[in-house]
Chains A and B, each alone.
Chain A
């Protein structure tokens, strides 16, 4: 009787600790992001107030300033946004097609030095952006690709292709060969068999590769900061620097731009969330 009681109370304590731990973790994950969102709606005076003001007042001051003219501390948000969108979407689409071809080749064909090619591609991906940005800057300056969309798109395609190959390779490997063989017997060409039979099965792998490619391009800074110069090609992460002066940072304005930057990534990730996890685990672990 006594023993079962201590047992029960121990379990209750464990349960309470579990809930407390979860709560703390969720708080730690959420608070920094929420802090940014919150401060994008607070007047600058309040952000800089000392002692701190704990009851926030609501204002759209920063958003109004950001979308306003240059004189009011505005930044070319629409340009940055559309540059980011063009570059990210274009590079994602191209990287997915190129990567899918590569993934299919690794999953379906036997050839010499296959593992060597595979590791080689992955190692190219491991080259740090900063280390690449120095020589890339000089090469791009020679061929006139600095400060263009095409230049950035090329770079991001190259960044995303190896990872796409890795994920899609794992997925195509899961599909039994009999699928496309049966389709070919029924009169499909290899090309048709791929699109009608194999692609639909591997869709969630492709979706997760796409979201990763998009997020990588959308969020990339080290290369973009060197390869873009003007409003014509600067992306959002580079635009964040517009709010920094030598010794001061316009925190409110920066938070407002940050919110605009997170929203598309957030929406997109929620839409394909299920595919994301499936893609990573199946593509990577069982590939």
Chain B
């Protein structure tokens, strides 16, 4: 049918354009601006940094850019205890944060879904943390967890729960807790909002059939609600995995990787190596490891998303 129409439209004027377009197909013309901007802003710097990760490049001595030292930077990283502990801590941090966000998001969505009065208002409040800049979240919780004047300690002391001031950002374990708290505060709403949207879209029939058949609330949730929510959960995870590195802003502000490197993540270590020590080559090598980490997360969740989608018959693309 479409072919037929196209033939019908072939006036001389169109044919002229047609030959032009045969060289550059329409989809390519449409995608070209996107390709150009991505190449200029992301690809070229990445290629440059890949090259410089094989040199001992120091910002202070530009001539070092032309000395090829092979994989020496990577070897240095791979044998560096500080790097590996930062790497492991990053994985741990992301695993804990993402799981908590998912769990809380699901809980919040289920609770809000049950509300009959003022649901719109609650949903609006839920989106509140999404508007906060990560760096602002960092400052906000640095303020709240300040051991001297912070809200957390003031409240604990006023309620008589604790006499002494807790060193939230000074003690290693508490500092880790604090940055995870900030991260979860910032990102749980993405999960809650998306899962809530999934709950709204759930078809009524299977739920009613389950009720008629005498399913318990848990069985209904486990076998009907949850499978239906899976694509929504994975889309939230995919969106999150695209910018897991936002945690850099928070950690940089709240602890700067301290105390004594106890909250050092791969991103803070990289920025310190690059900007403070000016060892660009080494930092770019670390950057590549962090890029691979982000990409692994993204691909993993994308795969899960497409699997969940095709299971529900939403189509099989990506």
A binds B: yes
Partner of B139, one of A119, A258, A266, A277: A258
> Is A115 a contact partner of B317 (Cβ separation < 8 A)?
yes
- A221 vs B38: C-alpha distance in the bound complex, in angstroms? 20
Q: Is the interface of B mostly helix, strand, loop or mixed?
A: helix
One of B92-100, B218-226, B291-299 at the interface: B291-299
Chain A contacts for B166, CB-based, 8 A: none
> Is B248 a contact partner of A129 (Cβ separation < 8 A)?
yes
> Is B37 a contact partner of A154 (Cβ separation < 8 A)?
yes
One of B69-77, B111-119, B169-177, B204-212 at the interface: B111-119
Chain A contacts for B267, CB-based, 8 A: 128, 130-131
> Is A52 a contact partner of B149 (Cβ separation < 8 A)?
yes
Q: How many residues of A contact B (CB 8 A)?
A: 98
- A101 vs B33: C-alpha distance in the bound complex, in angstroms? 8
- Known A29-B126, A121-B34, A157-B41; judge A134-B148 contact (CB<8 A): no
Residues 18-50 of B, flagged 1 when their CB comes within 8 A of A and 0 if not, give 000000011110110110011011111110110
In angstroms, how far is the closest chain A Cβ from the Cβ of B258?
A: 14
- Known A35-B144, A50-B149, A104-B30; judge A184-B5 contact (CB<8 A): yes
- A262 vs B139: C-alpha distance in the bound complex, in angstroms? 14
In angstroms, how far is the closest chain A Cβ from the Cβ of B10?
A: 13
- Known A101-B33, A102-B30, A280-B197; judge A127-B139 contact (CB<8 A): no
Chain A contacts for B231, CB-based, 8 A: 285
> Is B34 a contact partner of A22 (Cβ separation < 8 A)?
no
B284 at interface by CB-CB < 8 Å: yes
> Is B132 a contact partner of A277 (Cβ separation < 8 A)?
no
19 more A-B residue pairs beyond the given contacts A161-B34, A281-B197, with a C-beta to C-beta distance below 8 A: A29-B125, A50-B148, A52-B149, A106-B31, A109-B27, A111-B28, A132-B45, A134-B283, A154-B37, A173-B315, A181-B2, A184-B9, A215-B131, A219-B134, A221-B134, A236-B133, A237-B135, A276-B127, A278-B197
B245 at interface by CB-CB < 8 Å: yes
Chain A contacts for B302, CB-based, 8 A: 119, 122
